Structure 1
Amino acid sequence: MTAEVASPAIETRPGGLWLAFSKNKLSWVGLGLLAAIVLVAIFAPLLAPYDPLEQNIVSRLEPPSAEFWLGTDSYGRDVLSRLIYGARISLVVGFVAILIAMAIGATLGIVAGYIGGLFDQFVMGLLDVMLSFPTLLLGLMIAAMLGASLENLIIAIAVTEIAPFARVARAPTISLKQRDFVEASRSYGSGHLRIMGRHILPNMVSDVVVMSSLWMASAIRTEASLSFIGLGVPPPTPTWGSMIREGFENILDAWWLAVFPSLAILLTVLALNLLGDALRDAADPKSRES
């Protein structure tokens, strides 16, 4: 005979998120910026004044003007249109890569922390090896082995973020598995998978979600860096990193090619960091009290 054991949530205050946003006014700026960037990416076909792939050699390397608000590139393509469509690549790569890394990393961290012993040491040893490489260098090696494509770029970035997620999930799991409600559930005959899924995961998922917003900013920077060196999405698909690369090659003649995509990356990363700070304050009672 088994009975259902309720696992108390560790600090879940309904107004915690609202309180964190109220105390941190900059979080509203981050939320507004991110919402605007997402809307621009969604409605790119409606907002882009020109086809981002259309070439016009007659209008090549024109500076910002009333006709081309952000100028044109060396092929005569409108920079504003390519910038708008490039937001889609950055957001999709960042979101999907972090989602994959969060699912795999959190699962590894929970299982390793719950089982412990040699298995925990083995998994953490492998993750420590991954963490010993700088994120960009590890992503570069994986992307170079897989080849340049959207799918391979997502895989490369996801692999670089698995280890941090695993560490974030493992630490609270080690503490939670000693709690009374877990022991009570185990005494009632609950299996290991049920305990991890119903009692441990809900009590540490907020930490993982908070970090995902911060690491999505890192994923977008990595995507831009890999695209800059030619290991991102193949041309002519517009990406912010490849636009910066072209601007770097023409920095003396066409400053706008590198400046505007760099500003787009800066604003996106800033928005995610500001939003992540608010989510962290909402999840951490000590941050809210201070």
Structure 2
Amino acid sequence: MGAAVSSSPARPGGLWLAFSKNRLSWVGLALLAIIIIVAIFAPLIAPYDPLEQNIVARLEPPSAEFLLGTDSYGRDVLSRLIYGTRISLTVGFIAILIAMTIGSMIGILAGYVGGVFDQIVMGLLDVMLSFPTLLLGLMIAAMLGASLENLIIAIAITEIAPFARIARAPTISLKQRDFVEAGRALGFGPVRIMGVHILPNMISDVVVMSSLWMASAIRTEASLSFIGLGVPPPTPTWGSMIREGFENILDAWWLAVFPSLAILLTVLALNLLGDALRDAIDPKLRAE
């Protein structure tokens, strides 16, 4: 009774077709794979300890010894950039996973129950959406304090409302479908209908948006770290590295340029991959 309909998650053949039609998606996939590998094997790849200070070599420009130069404490920029990849991917992935789970549950419940409950929930979500993502994240992070856990919570909260809206729209349509009505006729409860019949038929939309919003989460993490509300120093993060580079922009351009490029490449990879996933679940594309 819970057979997938047209909006079911894309099959491997659909993914291959989408990647074949969108050649840039291979670039995104390759970039993301490299970034993930760098994060996993950071201790093996980084040439120096990212926390090791060498005042004698402070603010050294890129050279054979320090490929991306050193910062104002003499720490190797390349090593800090590599370890910063771990922070960005961890924060982005966990925050989006939390937001996707909670937001999808809220959206499905609101869309299925409908009525006054739906109006109240959507009204609260509209209030959250009225705040710019960065401003809302800044407010929450400032209240919770600077730490990795609080940063993840702050970013997750900012992304719950968009996920809830994405999940609600198909739920309203799906709950009128014949296979859902048949489930009710057989005596299935609301929890089973939402979890077994509705969720599998709209999860693909949510997954696609998660890849795109993970890019947004990484940008938000960098922005909060830039203003001092991210992971406390001396832990290397791309946002804190850019802040230090901004303070020394006239004397040490490499401090801000290289972490900015890292953010750019990561966001680009996620967006290109998200486009391919979106094409893979497009019913018109799969019908061709």
Structure 2-normalised TM-score? 0.98
Equivalent residue, structure 2, for 1:238: 236
Residues 30-81 of structure 1 show CA distances to partners (whole Å, capped at 9, x for unaligned) of 0000000000000000000000000000000000000000000000000000
After superposition, what is the alpha-carbon deviation per residue over 1:109-159, rounded to whole angstroms, capped at 9, x for unaligned? 000000000100000000000000000000000000000000000000000
Deviation at 1:284, TM superposition (A): 1.1
**Which of 7, 10, 16 is matched with 2:3 structurally?**
7
- State the distance in 2 between where 1:286 and 1:25 align: 19
- Amino acid of the structure 2 residue aligned with 1:166: A
Alignment match, 1:208: 206
Return the match for 2:249 from 236, 248, 251: 251
1:122 alignment partner, SS class: helix
Equivalent pair of 2:145/2:229 in contact (CA under 8 Å): yes
2:283 matched residue in structure 1: 285
Q: In the alignment, residue 283 of structure 2 is paired with which amino acid? A: P
- For 1:215 and 1:124, locate their aligned partners in 2 and report how far apart those are by CA, in whole Å: 20
Distance 1:289 1:193 in 2: 32
> 1:27-66 alignment to 2 at 5 Å?
27-66=25-64
Give 1:85's aligned residue.
83
Q: Cα deviation per residue 1:210-256 (whole Å; 9 max; x = unaligned)?
A: 00000000000000000000000000000000000000000000000
The aligned counterpart of 1:108 is 106
Is the partner of 1:67 in helix, strand or coil? Answer: coil
User: Residue in 2 aligned with 1:156?
Assistant: 154
What aligned pairs does 1:125-204 form with structure 2 within 5 A after superposition? 125-204=123-202
Aligned-residue offset at 1:82: 0.0
Aligned partner of residue 202 in structure 2, secondary structure: helix
Q: Spell out structure 1 runs of 4+ moving beyond 4 A.
A: 287-290
Amino acid of the structure 2 residue aligned with 1:57: I
Secondary structure of residue in 2 paired with 1:20: helix
1:251 and 1:76 map into 2 onto residues whose CA distance is 16
Q: Please say if residues 52 and 78 of structure 1, whose CA atoms lie closer than 8 Å, have aligned partners that are also in contact.
A: yes
- CA-CA distance at 1:289 after TM superposition: 6.6
Distance in 2 between residues matched to 1:7 and 1:108, nearest whole Å? 23
The one-letter code of the counterpart of 2:242 is: I
Residue 281 of structure 1, CA deviation: 0.4
2 CA distance for matches of 1:241 and 1:8?
42
Contact 2:6 2:283 in 1 (8 A): no
Separation in 2, partners of 1:288, 1:64: 49
Q: Counterparts of 1:18 and 1:215 in 2: how far apart (Å)?
A: 23
Separation of aligned partners in 1, 2:126 and 2:286: 32
Q: What's the RMSD between the two structures over aligned residues?
A: 1.1
Structure-1 separation of matches of 2:2 and 2:240: 51
Counterpart code for 1:249: E
What does residue 21 of structure 1 align with? 19
Q: List alignment gaps of at least 5 residues for structure 1.
A: none
- For 1:37, give the aligned amino acid: I
Quick one: distance in 1 between partners of 2:158 and 2:2?
A: 36
Contact 1:20 1:281 in 2 (8 A): yes
Equivalent-residue separation in structure 2 for 1:287 and 1:225 (angstroms): 37
Contact between 1:29 and 1:274, CA under 8 Å: does it hold in 2? yes
| Contact residue 7 and residue 204 of structure 2 kept, 8 A | no
Aligned residues: 286
Contact 1:9–1:202 (CA under 8 A) maintained in structure 2: no
